Structure 1
Amino acid sequence: MEVRQIIRTLKNAYLEDIIDQIPIPAPWCEDRNQVKAILLGCDPSNRHTQIMPYVFTLGMNIPVFNSFKKAFERDLEVVGLSWNSVYVQNLCRNYFRKETSENRRIWLEASKLWIPVLDEELSKFDTNIPVLLTSDMLFKALVTNPDAYGKTIDFYECRTKFPIDARDNLLNRPLIPFYLGLNGRTKQSYRLGTGKWVKYRKQIIRQIEKEMEV
């Protein structure tokens, strides 16, 4: 299904919950030959702008987003990555009226239309290249049996095996939780750049290095 057709379908189904905005942000890729991982966001929805040439407002200087980008930059850095070595894209390309955390039911339904588009887009990369999931919503949308895994904290405390095997998700490539958010119960940050989750961070580094050797 074409991008415009998907947005039209969503608009017809969810009316005012969908912003009929074209163009949508383009993926960010500084050098395709240097890509070691795919950094996946949920969607471009935010309270500040619907004009973004690139996802995550990369390549733009909008002060309200600078701390967000710096946080991801630091998290990438501590696992040996940079904006130059990742392909950055959103699963859902369209703008929603509400941000993802306030829009879970509609977002999950919309993601079903966008997953085949993303799968095809990522086919230009080797299937060993892992996808870094920036939200548990992506985990729920992409993993075929999410209930078979423990809580998010179990990944970060290395009690649950990762990466999520390519055979167990809809993108058919390794998936790694790489969240920017907080533990809902303890309010503890999942950010790797904070200096926490050292064992998990080291395992991600080993996994990326392993995949690059294949």
Structure 2
Amino acid sequence: MNQSEILNHLVVNYPNLIDVSFPIPSPHPDLSLIDPKSIKAIILGADPTHIVNGNPVEIKKVFGLDLKYSPYWNGINNNIKQVVGLSVANVYVQNVCRNYFKCETSQNKDWVTIARKYWIPFLKAELNEKFDKSIPIFITTEFILSAALNNPAKKIIASELYANCKSIEKDDNLFEREIIPFYRHFKYNLKNWPEYNMFLKSKINS
């Protein structure tokens, strides 16, 4: 299935959850304009949904990266700036679930199922087509980890991953790439985790 077909399936199977008011946001960057070999990490968000006054807000480019100052990207960008060798110019940014929902991720009881069943297989194939399998995935929320683990019961809490400089091995997740937490929550600002910052540096410059 392509992304339009996935969206159509979701509308049929989850009619009260899927919002089709806006087009799917485009990823960053446009790969037709760059050399894919320049990409050092893949950064994944959960989905584009941000609810204001009961309705999703349109986001034209993933994380609002078309905006001069994007509130969705600010925390992630602060962390990118702290990792030596990483910049907005050498990361590929996409959402796991590309469609809008009628509720935000934290209130969406079906998010993990939808991500796991519909979007992750599609995204895995797409990433494999675009990038070498050595390029790691940086995830910005624990929801993605819950959806991507081969065995969800083996999920490790964020603080343990950061404190012990751990990643998720490719054999343990559906993407079959190394998954590295890169959480946007202010608690995980890299200024508070210098050893983890060095761990990230080693992953993108190895």
Aligned residues: 196
Deviations 1:140-165 (A, max 9, x none): 1011123334321111111xx63211
Of 43, 49, 63, the residue aligned with 2:47 is 43
1:208 deviates by 1.5
1:68 match: secondary structure: coil
**TM value normalised by structure 2:** 0.88
**TM value normalised by structure 1:** 0.85
Q: In 2, Cα distance between the equivalents of 1:202 and 1:121?
A: 29
Q: In 1, Cα distance between the equivalents of 2:42 and 2:135?
A: 7
Q: In 2, Cα distance between the equivalents of 1:179 and 1:151?
A: 12
Aligned to 1:58: 65
1:50 deviates by 4.3
Amino acid at match of 1:109: T
Contact 1:17–1:98 (8 Å) recurs in 2: yes
- 2:105 counterpart of 1:100: yes
- 2:14 counterpart of 1:18: no
- 2:199 counterpart of 1:203: yes
Structure 1 unaligned blocks of 5 or more: 183-188
Contact 2:19–2:102 (8 Å) recurs in 1: yes
- 2:82 counterpart of 1:78: yes
Q: In 1, Cα distance between the equivalents of 2:90 and 2:137?
A: 13
Aligned to 2:188: 190
Structure 2 unaligned blocks of 5 or more: none
Deviations 1:56-92 (A, max 9, x none): 011124x6xx343222111011113111110000000
Identical columns (%): 35
Of 127, 137, 148, the residue aligned with 1:131 is 137
Q: In 2, Cα distance between the equivalents of 1:14 and 1:147?
A: 26
Aligned to 2:9: 9
Q: How does 1:116-127 map to 2 (within 5 A)?
A: 116-123=121-128, 124-127=130-133
Q: CA RMSD in A?
A: 1.8
